[in-house]
Amino acid sequence: MNKKGISLFELIGALVIFSIVVTLTAMIINFYVQANNRITLNSQANYEGNLVVRRLDDYFRDLSPTTFGTCPGVGCYTFSQEFTYELNPATQEVELVVHSIPVSLNVQVNAGNLYIGGIAYDFNLFSLNTGSSISVTQSAGVNSVDINLILEADDGTLFEFLFSYTFEELVIPDA
């Protein structure tokens, strides 16, 4: 008998093989999309975390604090510069300049917010986890500021960043 066409078993076999190939392809595409989303989220978190650490570093380096104290509220510190040394262009000598009102910067980490100079910092796609903290430790006239920032994504993924700054506690020298 001369058959023209395919049998039912051949058709079912071809459909099973095709279904397996489609399922594997869909799984690979899904894995690729999830991996891409994780990589994108990690990149965004690294960008935001490194940006805030760099901004904090800029604020502290510009201020060059000589002392600190606590301010009202939980997790709040005021960093102050009471004096500086500046070059007098007329005499070309470095002179002591005492600020009648110290130059200061308030930094607060509280209730899932970071405040720099009283302004809440915007982390864009992330929120600040309540486990974030700020601490200042003193040892032999040297102050160490540590700000632990934990960024939280919408899916609950946490990303941790640490800002550290050290400065010497200085009193206003006699003029």
Domain ranges of the chain: 8-168
State pTM to two decimals: 0.81
**AA letter at 84:** T
Residue 85 has pLDDT above 60, yes or no: yes
Contact criterion met (CB below 8 Å) for 139 and 118: no
How far apart CA 66 and CA 131 sit, in angstroms, is 28
Q: What is the pLDDT of residues 91-119, one digit of tens each?
A: 999 999 998 999 999 999 998 999 999 99
Contact criterion met (CB below 8 Å) for 143 and 109: no
pLDDT band at residue 5 under the 50/70/90 scheme:
confident
